[in-house]
Amino acid sequence: QRSILPQQMPDDPRLQMDCHITPAREVGGDFYDYFWLDREHLGVVIADVSGKGVPAALFMAITRTLLKSTAAFVTAPSSCMRRLNDLLAAENEQMMFVTVFYGVLHLPTGQLRYVNAGHNAPYLLSTQGEVKPLARTGGVAVAVSEEFPYQEAVLQLQPGDRLFLFTDGVTEAFNAQQQEVGEPRLVERLGQQLSDEQSPGQLNQAVLRGVRAFEDGAPQADDITCVSLLYRG
């Protein structure tokens, strides 16, 4: 599974990225991806397929391949997601689905155009000292219903702003008392990182340490995936 996901982070002075994935089993349904659309636009994806194990991993591989190939010809995130959804929903006898966050970052300006198809809202760690969820776009999970009219939103990043993208394995990690991490604890953990000039890798590791400490030895319940991005401008 790791072999089909990109390992080398983008080599560009305008941004830094770090990606992490830990499947709950040998393989899982989470994935991340990033790819250049041209010399100025970078596509960034994080997604979570329903279910676990081999069936989810197969659906993950299909979804990643279709999304990347579609994005090469359909540049608008909303149009790309509509096309991906129609392709996956057309012959979906197993009734699987996948939540997807897909954004296209314009490196010269910091403008991020994105679609959220039923996924956890990423967080913006701004240079103003705030931790804010990105506005949702009202999209349902991909492969649920053909011809769904996905909408997109726009976020303006400033130099020094950071994004934290994640799957629900982060917030739905449980301890032995069956309590979950939840969004408030994640926001608190992210807020603790605001004062530090951390690299994306350090931010990811800080969140993961918080999750492991909260689990306190309890078995991992779901795939855990996170992507951190620092926009340098």
When pLDDT is averaged across residues 99-121 and rounded to a whole number, the result is 97
On the question of pLDDT at 28 being above 80, the answer is: no
When pLDDT is averaged across residues 174-181 and rounded to a whole number, the result is 87
Q: Which letter, b or e, does each residue of 127-162 get, where b requires 16 or more Cβ atoms within 10 Å of its Cβ?
A: eeeebeebeebebebbbbeeebebebbebebeeebb
When pLDDT is averaged across residues 118-142 and rounded to a whole number, the result is 95
Per-residue pLDDT band for 90 (boundaries 50, 70, 90) equals confident
pLDDT of 26 reads 67
pLDDT of 197 reads 76
Can you tell me the distance from the alpha carbon of 50 to that of 52, in angstroms, rounded to the nearest whole number?
7
Q: What is the pLDDT of residues 34-72, one digit of tens each?
A: 999 999 999 999 999 987 778 888 899 999 999 999 999
Q: Which amino acid is located at 26 in the chain?
A: E
pLDDT of 208 reads 94
Highest mean pLDDT pick, 105-119, 170-184, 193-207: 105-119
Contacts of 226 (CB under 8 A, 6+ apart): 19, 20, 164, 165, 166, 167, 170, 204, 207, 208
Distance of CA 48 to the CA centre of its chain: 8
Average pLDDT value over all residues in the chain: 91
Helix runs in 93-218, H state only: 168-171, 182-191, 200-215
pTM (2 d.p.): 0.94
